[in-house]
Structure 1
Amino acid sequence: MTETYINPLIIQRADPFIYKHTDGYYYFTASVPAYNRIEIRRAKTLNGLAHATPRTIWRKHESGEMSQLIWAPEIHFINNKWYIYFAATDTTEIVNGLFTHRMYCLECVADNPMLSEDDWVEKGQIITDKDTFCLDATTFEHNDKLYYVWAQKDNNIRGNSNLYIAEMENPWTLKTTPVLLSKPEFDWETRGFWVNEGPAVLKRNGKIFLTYSASATDENYCMGMLTVDDSADLLDPTNWHKASKPVFASDLSTNQFGPGHNSFTVSEDGKTDILVYHCRNYTDIKGDPLYDPNRHTKIQPFSWDKSGLPRFDKPVPYNYK
């Protein structure tokens, strides 16, 4: 492929999610630095997203739930309707070492989800089997079933968050009891914080790949991966296999640090897979990395090895000032 993508594609947008719809548009959403709203933008090309005007489609509440720290929105198209999943809380305070986020869902039945804030309806909190810190939900369909994957704290397991999966009754309600897929256990998952978060799903070559991010959100942040046969029972954790090493990590030679919270899309011609992620180009962060706004959205093509596994290689250097 000869296309050269702008990098960083969009500055100061962490937790990026890009979805290529049947209307020919790419739809983009991500955390905004103020953590106070959800915006989406669209363009016919990936590079076009860099210059597309964002449209705010939802704003945080004045008080109560969904009033603070709006994090990591994702936009999905399910059963001919638009859905946005995001995390929010009612306070910026940390309780017992963690924020207090819960997961929420918005729905839009309009063909164009960018026309009006009024088109988006709150479907409420997505309830799991634990009333604990949770975030970073994604969904995917497989064999006519809708699945939900997310990160959540289990008070009986060491660490900030683990990865869980459940089948959904509808796009805002779980149908089955959540199943633990992965918890922080390797050295590269437990640097700074014990974290598994930011799951993203990729289906190819008879497999389902679930990438995720691990460790603190500084230069230690990196991506791991779980793999399952697409014919297997996805709710049986023994069917999933976890890579013992990161599949994407900081690269000193290109000054790219803390790549993660990724998603996947495809090139304009539909022939090349594209990795979407955020990254910084420095390690000297003042204060909490969470409040440093310079996690920029980046995109890059990736290939497949002979065994059918994705090869993400290294974060590409910046090519745009």
Structure 2
Amino acid sequence: MQPRPHVDFARAEGVGAAPLAAGQHTFSYTNPITRDTAISMRDHFIIKVGKQWFCTGTSMPVWSGHNPGVRLLVSDDLIHWRQHSWLIDGKKLSADCPYNGRFWAPEIHYIKNKYWLTVNSGQVTAQDPKGMRTHSIWLFSSDKVTGPYKLVNGPLTPQYNNDATLFEDEDGQTYLYCSGNGLWQAKIDLNTGKLVGKIQQFRGAKDANNPGWMVGGIEGPFVLKRAGTYFMFFSTWTRGYEVGLLRSQSPLGPWELAAPEPIFGTRKREYRAEMARGGGYADLQFADTPDPYQETGHNAIFEGPDGQLWSSCHYFFDQRITPLADWQKVPQLGIEPLHFRNGIFAIDGPTSTPQTVKY
């Protein structure tokens, strides 16, 4: 069976096979989808291949030292997930491996009949025990979603960059987007793994034209195209963890806010309160959202059970809630349908009660 890309652009454009009669099938889910400390991750990225979904992300621990590697989960129904393998096993990397650090926010994209794995990491040394001084982007490829993956090139950029994502346009040109004290972009030649020209920062968190809800920090880009317009999802941790949306008529911008407010996420005044005070934005006026989460962000888009586009990201319970089960104390996978309303994308939620989608 020919594998399918994680985003079905034909359906995203509203063309293709005729949909099934409404209500012929149902899909029920309750977030967070995973409830298991053993497969806890942040920054979930899902790709559908054949009749299965595969998921990768940032494994625990996130902030201290280096984490175990690049984990791959698999599911037959998008509800029940199990460990498949380690695409990169940190225990098997040598001490002088230049990417043996933290393995943040990996993604897998199916482009030009191959799978391309982006990994964000650096080298752990005695002077840099978390590998952050050399933290950048590494590109791997494979003929199968499950690997094995072979290093193509890295580091792709000369400075700290993170949260790399890929986007192939209709003309076959591929683009790299990433974060790193703002959002960055460049063309990339996948065959060589080399950027075409210099990577450019095109938006900083504290740019003069940014609204207050972006000033804490922006990260986690993901790009798709609809009816000739390019849309970029991104996350911000200013008021909690929220997803904003940019749009452009070109894959390299200029990018403008598609909506004056985030299209998804959770707001909690005490979220990273110390960071907000230190950053000078603790006085932003907003009310907490009623959801039970402190984080729902760093989203990516994938093909859901109904053949339409869905959003995935990590759902992390508000740690002020007591008592919490062990699985609620760490981030878990959450999913929601992606909608297109009034010329922009929208994501309802985040939800925590049973949901049913008819299709």
Q: Normalising to structure 2: TM-score of the pair?
A: 0.71
State whether residues 339 and 345 of structure 2, in contact with CA within 8 Å, keep that contact through their aligned partners in structure 1.
yes
- The counterpart of 2:74, out of the listed 42, 56, 62, is 42
Q: Deviations over 1:61-93 (max 9, x none)?
A: 232321221111101112211121011122389
Task: Tell me, in whole angstroms, the C-alpha distance in 1 between the residues paired with 2:83 and 2:313.
Answer: 20
Tell me the equivalent position of 1:158. none
- The counterpart of 1:262, out of the listed 293, 299, 324, is 299
Tell me the equivalent position of 1:312. 347
Task: Tell me, in whole angstroms, the C-alpha distance in 2 between the residues paired with 1:30 and 1:83.
Answer: 15
Work out whether 1:299 is the aligned partner of 2:335.
Answer: yes
Work out whether 1:204 is the aligned partner of 2:204.
Answer: no
Greater Cα offset, 66-75 or 203-212: 203-212
Gap regions ≥5 residues in structure 1:
153-160, 286-291
State whether residues 126 and 174 of structure 1, in contact with CA within 8 Å, keep that contact through their aligned partners in structure 2.
no
Q: 1:281 to 1:180 in 2, by over 3 A?
A: same
Q: Deviations over 1:246-303 (max 9, x none)?
A: 2212153221222111001122231x32111112111449xxxxxx971211001132
- The counterpart of 1:189, out of the listed 214, 221, 241, is 214
Task: Report the secondary structure of 2:213's partner residue.
Answer: helix
Question: What is the RMSD computed on CA atoms of the aligned residues?
Answer: 2.7
Structure 1: which 4+ aligned runs deviate by more than 6 Å? 92-95
Task: Report the secondary structure of 2:290's partner residue.
Answer: helix
Task: Tell me, in whole angstroms, the C-alpha distance in 1 between the residues paired with 2:243 and 2:125.
Answer: 27
Q: How many pairs does the alignment contain?
A: 282
Gap regions ≥5 residues in structure 2:
1-22, 62-66, 268-288, 322-327
Q: 1:164 to 1:53 in 2, by over 3 A?
A: same
1:151 maps to a residue whose letter is S
Task: Tell me, in whole angstroms, the C-alpha distance in 2 between the residues paired with 1:293 and 1:134.
Answer: 28
Higher relative contact order (CA 8 A, sep 6+): 2
Greater Cα offset, 84-93 or 52-61: 84-93
Tell me the equivalent position of 1:124. 153
Instruction: Work out the percentage of aligned pairs sharing the same amino acid.
Output: 22
> Rg: which structure is higher?
2
Tell me the equivalent position of 1:176. 197
Q: 1:57 to 1:275 in 2, by over 3 A?
A: same
Task: Tell me, in whole angstroms, the C-alpha distance in 2 between the residues paired with 1:254 and 1:93.
Answer: 42
1:255-294 equivalence runs, <5 A:
255-270=292-307, 272-284=308-320, 294=330
Q: Normalising to structure 1: TM-score of the pair?
A: 0.79
1:36 maps to a residue whose letter is P
1:91-110 equivalence runs, <5 A:
91=124, 99-100=132-133, 101-109=135-143
Task: Report the secondary structure of 2:205's partner residue.
Answer: coil
State whether residues 68 and 92 of structure 1, in contact with CA within 8 Å, keep that contact through their aligned partners in structure 2.
no
Q: 1:304 to 1:113 in 2, by over 3 A?
A: closer
State whether residues 295 and 318 of structure 2, in contact with CA within 8 Å, keep that contact through their aligned partners in structure 1.
no
